[in-house]
Every structure is written in structure tokens, then in C-alpha cells.
Amino acid sequence: MHRTRLYRDGKLVLQDFPVADISDHLEHEGCVVWLDFLEPSEADLASISQELSLHPLAVEDAVHEHQRPKLDRYESHLFLSASAVRLDSASGELDTSEVDVFITRHALVTVREDQGVDMDAVAARWDESQDLATNGVSFLLWGLLDVLVDGHFEAVQSLDSEIESLEDLLFDEHPREREVQERSFQLRKSLVVMRRLVLPMREVVNSLMRRDLHVLGEAMTPYYQDVYDHVLRATEWTDALRDLVSTIVETNLTIQGNRMNLVMKKVTSWAAIIAVPTAVTGFYGQNVPYPGFSTHWGFWFSSALIAVLSVSLYLAFRRADWI
């Protein structure tokens, strides 16, 4: 499946035309083409590679998934790899979808392996900013990056909300240690993935703004600067959330330790109380004569001694908040 767009002199003039017509359109002055491939075959990539003189190494990277976000420079074009992210609130897992981009002077080619990257949203961003279309490929690339980075920001915001919910579970009246541990572990994994995808985007966007690449015109520089600012904020937010999750894990362990100490205090207190009648009855169980031996008052004295000592220990432990 593929989608195409043709811009001429900053105006959208044609959509969904055959891939074979791209080279014909590019022969005309002022034309810019966008081509989007969804799950392309090697033959599809080979055909567009010949049309646009793409480097074999860049094409090979587009064929193989799980590329690190990067920007490679070749003689005739640039190759960019990035990812869209979305948080599954139910499981806490981060869904990622890679998009590879070939950037030439008059064409932008996007390659996707699934529907995770919402190209409808990208097209809508282009249509909302038609006054910038005169900037050609840099305008198309900005729309794509803006949607991707906004998705990163939304994912980080969702992670922040999930971590706030985790904090509420941490101090719940009814202990839910296992749920807190599982949720903390999953969110920590998601933050590691998020950081691995967001952190390299700083270098990608920063490299695109370099003057020696001749990608941006003066009119598009503020828009790329805005994208770069969003990337920085998402990166800093991700790092802060990683520290926060680590703190939650440590706090959960501390709370468990405190609860264990409380349980041990209660067990020790009751063991001390139970030890009183055991000690008294053991003493009076000696097989030797003693005061009160074989008398009724000896029985009542030992019983009263057990009661008084037990109640005294109970009140003492209660006052110390051990019971």
C-alpha cells in the first residue's frame, strides 16, 4: 500500500498517483513529492531507490526494523529513522512503531511496517499549515516530526498520570504490595524504552537545523526550534519520571520493612504475655514443697499472679503502641 502527494509552487495539486509517475513530476520546476509506503516489499523499495538514487545502505536500514533514532547523511539524500509511541494504560506497556524517512531535495519518502504511525494526522498537520508549503521538503518533514514528537510528549504525560496513580496505591489503607511492585516494574521498563527513543531525537533534530545540510530555509527554522524544544522537554520529563519510579520502588520496600517491624513487635508482645503464665505455672509445677504447696490459697495466688502480670504487660505494650 502507498500514498502519494504532489505539491507545485506550495500548493497541493495531486494525490494518490502511481509511484511510476514520481520521476516525471520531479522533472518540473517547483514540484515536491511525498510518497508513503506501508509494509513495502523489497521490489517496492528497489523501484523507488532507482527513481531517487537512494543509497543501498539506507534502503537496507529501511528494510530491517528496530533502528535506533538517527540521521544519516549520504551524497544525494538524508536518511532519518524515528518512532511513534503510545502507552497502553491497562498494561503499562509502551507500543512503538518505526518510520524510516528518505529526504531528498524535492521528495520525502516514508516507510512504515504497521499502522502505528498515524499518517492521517501528519497529512492533517500539513493541511492546517498550507501557508508553509512553499518551503517544500522541509515543510513536509516538519509536519512528520511535529506529529511524532507530540506523540512522545503525550506518552510521557500518560506515564506521569500512571505514576501518580501508583503513588496513590503505595499509601492505600489496604496494602497492595504485589500490584505496586508489578506496576512499578512495568512502568520502569516503559520509561527505559521511552528514553531510548526520545533521547537520540535531540541529536536528530539538532542535526537537521545545521546550515551545512541545507535542509531548512529561514522560514522553517523557528518551527524546527519548537520541535527541538518539545524534544528537550520530553527527554527531561522522562528522566525525572525514571527517578520518581525508582523512589517509589525504594519507598515501597521501606513501607514493607516498617510493616514487618510492626508485625514483629506485635508478635513479640504477645509472646511475652503468653510467657508469663508459662513461667508461673512452670514454677509452681516443681516437685518440691513451697509456700502454698497443696493448698487452695496457693492455686488462687498463682492464678492472680498470672492475671496481674499479663494485664500489666498488655497495658505496657499498649502504651508503647506495640499492640
Q: In this structure, are 121 and 172 located in the same domain?
A: yes
pLDDT of residue 141: 92
Q: In this structure, are 294 and 177 located in the same domain?
A: no
Q: In this structure, are 135 and 227 located in the same domain?
A: yes
Q: In this structure, are 126 and 49 located in the same domain?
A: yes
Q: In this structure, are 130 and 37 located in the same domain?
A: yes
pLDDT of residue 242: 85
CA dist., res. 89 & res. 162, Å (int): 7
| Run means of pLDDT, 10 residues per run, the chain, 323 residues | 86 86 82 88 80 84 79 88 87 86 90 87 90 89 93 90 81 74 84 89 87 74 91 90 83 75 78 76 64 69 79 78 67
262-266, long-range: CB within 8 Å, 24+ apart, which pairs? Answer: 265/322, 265/323, 266/322, 266/323
Residue where one domain finishes, among candidates 237, 256, 275: 256
Q: In this structure, are 157 and 226 located in the same domain?
A: yes
pLDDT of residue 283: 64
Residue where one domain finishes, among candidates 235, 256, 277: 256
Q: In this structure, are 123 and 268 located in the same domain?
A: no
Angle at 150 between CA 144 and CA 154, to 5 degrees: 145
Number of separate domains in the chain: 2
pLDDT of residue 323: 67
Q: Three-class SS of residue 136?
A: coil
Q: Between β-strands 31-38 and 107-112, what pairing exists: parallel, antiparallel or unpaired?
A: parallel
Q: In this structure, are 169 and 309 located in the same domain?
A: no
For position 91, which CATH number holds? 3.30.460.20
Across-strand partners of 111?
Answer: 37, 100
pLDDT of residue 227: 92
Range of the domain at 281: 262-319
